[in-house]
């Protein structure tokens, strides 16, 4: 496995860094985070002009047709700047679900608008019981002859408040297993759909979506009804690996801030970095940053290679990132003390994301259990 960046990846990294440095100072991140929507249409338009929503969409559907490591390179930079955007929801989760489970007609109809950034899709899977496995899908879609009726609640759905379309995971049959799971394409403005941004000390805006007897036609089913779990799992695996690259970039920035502060902050006539306990915190953050980066890019490389053990690599990376990102933030706050809580300083932008993203797409405990199952360790 060679993780040296090739020419295209180096170009993507440089372009992303230049764009973020020019367009996303921490003051703009604060403004977006503090806004009601958590969304900046101008920033999204600029990202779309760069072609980022279409990086992994094949060129026959209007995208750039690049690989997952290529996208990970961009996401590491996005994480380094705490970039708020609906990219993961729309251009990764939803796009990969279409690629893995949609019909050819659906790919032609849906992917070009995602790749161009003209439409934003949100991916609604988790429910009040909050599980990323098939057993967590309990929402029912009842057949009514010509279509389906959706009733139930989805929780912690990023970007639903700004989405043009919703991908809704629900059961058309079956109990708690993989069979009987379908994905529906739902208009968020349809009768019976209500969306609320959930409050709390969180980074990306997440939403509660309630469905009250929402009527959808048969054409709204992605692929074939009752057989969507394979596409959902593919979308989750690819999005999780990409998210890990984002978290690795955030962890790296937290380490950089902590190291630089330990060298510039003077106490008792010397930099605080000369104190052993401060050194411990700085090194802990470095270890977490390195671990997150290399496991994330190994997972992305495995996905690009079509390796049999790719899902194990993905869960390894998410387990590492879910523990390491918030742990690095804790170490950083120990070193920074009071100034670390100053919103304008910028450390809290990463702490908020670490606290939210450690759970999104499965926390460390979920992914360790998944690894044990995939490795046949759990019987």
Checking if the pLDDT of 145 tops 90, the result is: no
Cα separation, 6 vs 46, in Å, equals: 25
Cα separation, 63 vs 54, in Å, equals: 4
Per domain, the residue ranges of the chain are 7-119, 122-227, 230-374
Which CA distances in Å does 141 have to 101, 153, 171?
18, 12, 6
For residue 52, what are the contacts with CB-CB under 8 A and spacing of at least 6?
74, 87, 91, 117
pLDDT of residue 126: 96
The structure tokens listed for 259 are 């190291």
Nearest of 174, 169, 188 to residue 232 by alpha carbon: 169
Q: What is the DSSP letter of 199?
A: P
Task: Give the residue-averaged pLDDT of 102-119.
Answer: 98
pLDDT of residue 3: 80
**Secondary-structure class of domain 7-119 per CATH:** mainly alpha
Cα separation, 244 vs 300, in Å, equals: 9
The structure tokens listed for 199 are 């409050």
Digit-coded pLDDT (tens) for 153-163:
999 999 999 99
pLDDT of residue 379: 57
Residue 172's pLDDT band, with cuts at 50, 70 and 90, is very high
First vs last Cα of the chain: how many Å apart? 31
Residue 89's pLDDT band, with cuts at 50, 70 and 90, is very high
122-227 shares the fold of 7-119: no
pLDDT of residue 199: 81
The structure tokens listed for 205 are 């805006």
Digit-coded pLDDT (tens) for 297-317:
999 999 999 999 999 999 999
Checking if the pLDDT of 34 tops 80, the result is: yes
Task: Give the residue-averaged pLDDT of 168-192.
Answer: 94
pLDDT of residue 340: 97
Task: Give the residue-averaged pLDDT of 207-216.
Answer: 97
Q: Helix/strand/coil (H, E, C) string of 9-61?
A: HHHHHHHHHHHHHHHCCHHHHHHHHHCCCCCCHHHHHHHHHCCHHHCCCCHHH
Checking if the pLDDT of 234 tops 70, the result is: yes
pLDDT of residue 202: 65
Task: Give the residue-averaged pLDDT of 163-177.
Answer: 92
CATH topology of domain 122-227: Butyryl-CoA Dehydrogenase, subunit A; domain 2 (2.40.110)
Q: Specify the pairing of strand 147-158 against strand 193-197.
A: unpaired
With vertex at residue 37, the alpha carbon angle to CA 242 and CA 354, rounded to the nearest 5 degrees, is 40
Residue 203's pLDDT band, with cuts at 50, 70 and 90, is low
Give this prediction's pTM: 0.97
Q: Which residue has the higher pLDDT, 288 or 376?
A: 288
Specify the 3-state DSSP secondary structure of 267: strand
CATH topology of domain 230-374: Butyryl-CoA Dehydrogenase, subunit A; domain 3 (1.20.140)
Cα separation, 250 vs 26, in Å, equals: 13
The share of the chain scoring above pLDDT 90, in percent, equals 93
Ranking 1-5, 22-26, 329-333 by mean pLDDT, the lowest is 1-5
Checking if the pLDDT of 372 tops 90, the result is: yes
Cα separation, 298 vs 93, in Å, equals: 19
- CB atoms closer than 10 angstroms to residue 269: 5
Cα separation, 40 vs 262, in Å, equals: 34
Residue length of the chain? 379
């Amino acid at each position: 496995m060679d993780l040296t960046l090739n020419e295209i990846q180096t170009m993507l990294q440089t372009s992303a860094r230049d764009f973020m440095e020019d367009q996303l100072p921490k003051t703009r991140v604060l403004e977006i985070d503090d806004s009601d929507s958590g969304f900046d249409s101008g920033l999204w338009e600029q990202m779309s002009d760069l072609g980022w929503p279409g990086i992994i969409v094949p060129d026959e559907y209007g995208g750039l047709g690049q690989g997952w490591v290529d996208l990970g390179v961009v996401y590491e930079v996005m994480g380094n700047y705490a970039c708020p955007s609906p990219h993961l929801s729309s251009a990764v989760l939803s796009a990969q679900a279409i690629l893995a489970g949609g019909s050819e007609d659906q790919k032609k109809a849906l992917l070009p608008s995602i790749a161009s950034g003209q439409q934003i899709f949100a991916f609604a899977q988790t429910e009040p019981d909050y599980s990323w496995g098939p057993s967590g899908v309990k929402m029912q879609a009842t057949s009514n002859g010509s279509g389906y009726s959706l009733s139930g609640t989805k929780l912690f759905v990023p970007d639903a408040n700004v989405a043009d379309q919703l991908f809704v995971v629900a059961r058309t049959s079956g109990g708690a297993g993989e069979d009987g799971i379908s994905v529906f394409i739902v208009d968020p403005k349809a009768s019976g759909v209500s969306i609320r941004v959930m409050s709390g000390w969180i980074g990306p805006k997440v939403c509660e979506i309630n469905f009250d007897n929402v009527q959808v036609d048969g054409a709204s089913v992605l692929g074939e009804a009752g057989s969507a779990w394979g596409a959902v799992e593919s979308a989750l695996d690819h999005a999780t690996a990409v998210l890990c690259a984002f978290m690795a970039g955030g962890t790296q920035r937290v380490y950089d801030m902590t190291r630089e502060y330990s060298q510039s902050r003077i106490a008792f006539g010397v930099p605080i970095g000369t104190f052993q306990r401060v050194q411990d915190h700085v090194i802990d953050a470095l270890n977490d940053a390195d671990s997150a980066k290399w496991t994330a890019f190994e997972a992305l490389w495995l996905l690009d290679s079509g390796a049999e053990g790719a899902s194990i690599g993905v869960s390894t990376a998410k387990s590492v990132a879910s523990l390491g990102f918030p742990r690095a933030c804790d170490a950083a706050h120990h070193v920074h003390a009071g100034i670390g809580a100053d919103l304008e300083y910028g450390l809290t932008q990463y702490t908020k994301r670490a606290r939210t993203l450690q759970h999104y797409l499965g926390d460390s405990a979920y992914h360790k259990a998944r690894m044990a199952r995939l490795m046949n360790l759990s019987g």
